[in-house]
Amino acid sequence: MGVFQTKETWLSNRISEDEITRYFVNEKAFIDDAEIFSALNSAKPPDKARLKDILDKALAIKTLSINETAELIKLPNDVFEKEVAPVCLEIKKKVYDNRIVTFAPLYLSNYCVNNCMYCGFRVDNTLVKRVHLGIDEIKEEIKVLAGKIGHKRLIVVYGEHPINSIEYMEKSINAIYSVKERGQFGESGIRRVNVNAPPLRIDELRRLHKMGIGTYQVFQETYHRQTYEQLHPVGTIKGNYLWRLYSMHRAMDGGIDDVGIGVLLGLYDWRFEVLALLSHAIEMERYFGIGPHTISFPRIEPAFNTPFTANAKYKVSDDDFLKFIGLIRLAVPYTGLIITAREPKEIRDKSFAYGVTQTDASSNIGLGGYSREESEQHGDMQQFFLGDMRSLDELIRDLADMGYITSFCTAGYRCGRTGKKIMDLLKTGQEGRFCKLNAVLTFREWVDDFASEETKQKAEALINREIGEIRQLMPDMFPKLMEYYEKTKSGRRDLYF
C-alpha cells in the first residue's frame, strides 16, 4: 500500500482547529486541572455511612462525582480491598453477568510520524525494523487468528503516518472481514473489528463508521497537560493535546457511537488520571447523553531502545493498579474495563475480581507475528514487551477455574445495540440477559471448534451451570436458547439473540 500524498502535505492537513473549538464550553476545554487537584487535596476517607452512600450510588449504576471518587481514592488499600472490591465485582456481575470477553490485538504497521518518549515506535528510534502489512499479509494473519485460534474480535492498531491513510484502513478492514476459515464444524471468521487509531477528522470518521467497525479507541496517554506536552514534542501531530482530547467528540459526530478511552499509567500520578478519565466520561454524558463503552488502563512496559520506560517516575504498584481498576468500575459503573497481556498472569487473574470485563489472549504484537506462529517476542518489531503469553485455550481454562464464562458474542453490535441503546440496557442490567444467552452459544461454538481436551472438560461443567441459571432466571427465554443450543452443537454457527 503506497503513500497517497507527500508526508508534508499529509501533515499540514491533519488538524482542524474548528473540530476542537466547536466543543468548548465558555471557550475552555473540559479537563480542569485545578478542579481535579482541589478534589484530591480536600478529600478525606469516607466514614462508614458516607462510604455506604457512595457504594449504593455505584450499585444503582449511576456515575459518581469527582468529589465522591476522590474520597474513595483516600481509602487505604487494605480497606479498599476488603470492603470495596467485593462491590466492584457485584457491579460488574449486575451489568455484564459473569462473562469475560476476549479479543486479540493486530498491529498492521509500526510506521509513525510522532516522537513520544515512551514508545518503541517513535520516529527517532532508528533501530526498529519498520513493517507495513499488505492486504495479502493481513489475510494470512486472519487465517491464524480466526481459523486456528478461534478469535471472533480484534483490536486493529494503526500508527500515525500517511501510509496508514483512511483508504488503507478501509481496505484492511474489508480484508479482515472477508476471510472465512473452515473450523471443525463450521465457518469461522472475525465478526467484530475494533480500531485503535490516531485521532481522525470527522469526514474520515464517517468513512470508518461505514466499514462496520465496533469500538473506536483513542487513549489520551496522560490527561495532565504539562506532562503531556513534555512527552510529546511540539511540532508533532501528537503534540497537540486538544486535538487528541476531543477525538471522541469527533467520533460521535462522525456516527461512531461506540468509543473507548484510556490512559497509559506511569506517565503521571494515577490519582489524577482516575479523576481525569471520570471527567471525560462525565463530559461525554453531558454532551452526547452516553459515556464511553470501554475504558483501558495499560501500564507502561519496557520497550526496545526506549530508556524512558525503565526510568518512568510515576510507575504504578500492583496494589495501586488493582485499586485504580476498582475505582473506575465504581466511578463509571456501566463501562467495559479492558486489561491486556501487558500485565503478568497473576495481576490479570486478580483484576477480574475488581470488575474487568475484557482481555486479550494468544497475543502477538510483532508485525506479522501470527502467521509466523512464533512464541518468542521481537523487541525491534513490537511497541513494548508483553507480560502474559498465555494462549486463548489456556486463558479460557483458567477463567473457567475462576467461574467465568468466556464470551465471543458480537451480536449487540450487529443488532444495533450500540450508543444510547446499549447504555440504557447496561444501566438497567438488561444487556446482561442478552449477554448471558449469547455467551453460552458462542462459548459452545468455540469449545467444539477449538478447545483442547483439558479445556473441554472444564467447559462442559461451566456450560451446564449457565444453562441451569438461565432456566431459573429466564424461563421465558429458555426454550429458544435450547433450540439454538442444539443447532449449535449440530454445527450451525453464529446464532444469537
> Per residue in 298-319, pLDDT tens?
999 888 899 888 888 899 999 9
Residue predicted with more confidence, 436 or 456: 456
Which of 384-388, 404-408, 428-432 is least confident?
A: 428-432
Convert 402-463 into a string of H (helix), E (strand) and C (coil): CCCEEECCCHHHHCCCCHHHHHHHHHCCCHHHHHHHHHHHHHHHHHHHHCCHHHHHHHHHHH
- Residue 120's nearest CA partner among 408, 365, 371, 418 is 365
pLDDT, position 312: 85
Stretch 25-45: mean pLDDT: 96
Grid cell 483501558 is found at 296
d(CA 147, CA 188): 6
- Residue 154's nearest CA partner among 98, 205, 108, 204 is 108
List, for residues 244-270, the tens digit of each pLDDT value.
999 999 999 999 999 999 999 999 999
pLDDT, position 493: 87
pLDDT, position 182: 66
Residues 6+ positions from 68 with CB-CB distance below 8 Å: 54, 57, 331
List, for residues 133-165, the tens digit of each pLDDT value.
999 999 999 999 999 999 999 999 999 999 999
In this structure, is the dihedral angle defined by the CA atoms of residues 100, 179, 214 and 115, taken in order, positive or negative?
positive
pLDDT at 1 over 80: no
pLDDT, position 387: 86
pLDDT, position 418: 63
pLDDT, position 491: 87
Stretch 377-386: mean pLDDT: 77
pLDDT, position 190: 94
What pLDDT band is residue 419 in, cutting at 50, 70 and 90?
Answer: low
What pLDDT band is residue 375 in, cutting at 50, 70 and 90?
Answer: confident
What pLDDT band is residue 61 in, cutting at 50, 70 and 90?
Answer: very high
pLDDT, position 311: 83
List, for residues 399-418, the tens digit of each pLDDT value.
999 999 999 988 766 666 56
List, for residues 342-370, the tens digit of each pLDDT value.
999 999 999 999 999 999 999 998 889 99
- Residue 223 pairs in a beta bridge with none
Mean pLDDT value across the chain: 92
List, for residues 316-326, the tens digit of each pLDDT value.
999 999 999 99
pLDDT, position 2: 44
- Residue 152 pairs in a beta bridge with none
Percentage above 70 pLDDT, the chain: 93
Helices 431-450 and 478-489 cross at an angle (nearest 10°) of 20
d(CA 419, CA 438): 19
pLDDT, position 373: 80
Stretch 34-39: mean pLDDT: 97
Contact 245, 6 (CB under 8 A): no
CA dihedral in degrees (226, 227, 232, 236; nearest 10)? -10
Stretch 366-378: mean pLDDT: 84
Going from the N-terminus, what domains does the chain have, and what CATH number goes with each?
7-25+89-417 (3.20.20.70), 431-489 (no CATH)
Contact 24, 269 (CB under 8 A): no
List, for residues 162-206, the tens digit of each pLDDT value.
999 999 999 999 999 999 876 556 677 999 999 999 999 999 999
Stretch 51-68: mean pLDDT: 98
Grid cell 497475543 is found at 363
d(CA 178, CA 331): 39
pLDDT, position 377: 76
pLDDT, position 240: 96
List, for residues 92-104, the tens digit of each pLDDT value.
999 999 999 999 9
Contact 179, 187 (CB under 8 A): no
